[in-house]
Amino acid sequence: LMVSRQNLTGVLSRMEDRGLIERVKSTVDSRSRLIRLTPNGWKRWEAMQSDITGFYGGAMKDLSNSDLIHALHYLDQMRENMHEVDIAQGE
């Protein structure tokens, strides 16, 4: 998602308040919490699929498969480069 931990915590808290997710203690590491969709969360996810499909379909309407593959490659490379910059800066 490439969002800060603080932003993600806020988003997850709101989703939990709305009954869409639950936090479950990890069986591997008791300090960690796993996030999973509740039954209401799954219903919401399923209801959103048509809108999500339409959004991405519209965003990529004039791109060939080759264009999409290249775009994903370059975006992934940029993500890796940004991660390396963060590490170099001590983030």
Along the 91 residues of the chain, how does pLDDT read in single tens digits? Answer: 667 888 888 999 999 999 999 999 989 998 888 999 999 999 999 999 999 999 999 999 999 999 999 999 999 999 999 999 989 988 6
Check: CB of residue 20 under 8 Å from CB of residue 38: yes
Locate 16 and state its tokens.
Answer: 């939990």
CATH of the domain at 44: 1.10.10.10
28/9 same-domain check: yes
Q: 8, 41, 1, 7: which is closest to 22 by C-alpha? A: 41
Secondary element (H or E) of residue 25: strand 21-25
How far is residue 64's CA from residue 47's CA, in Å, rounded to a whole number? 28
DSSP-based three-state secondary structure for 19: coil
Could you tell me the residue range of the domain that residue 67 belongs to?
A: 63-91
Output the pTM of the full model: 0.65
How far is residue 47's CA from residue 28's CA, in Å, rounded to a whole number? 33
82/69 same-domain check: yes
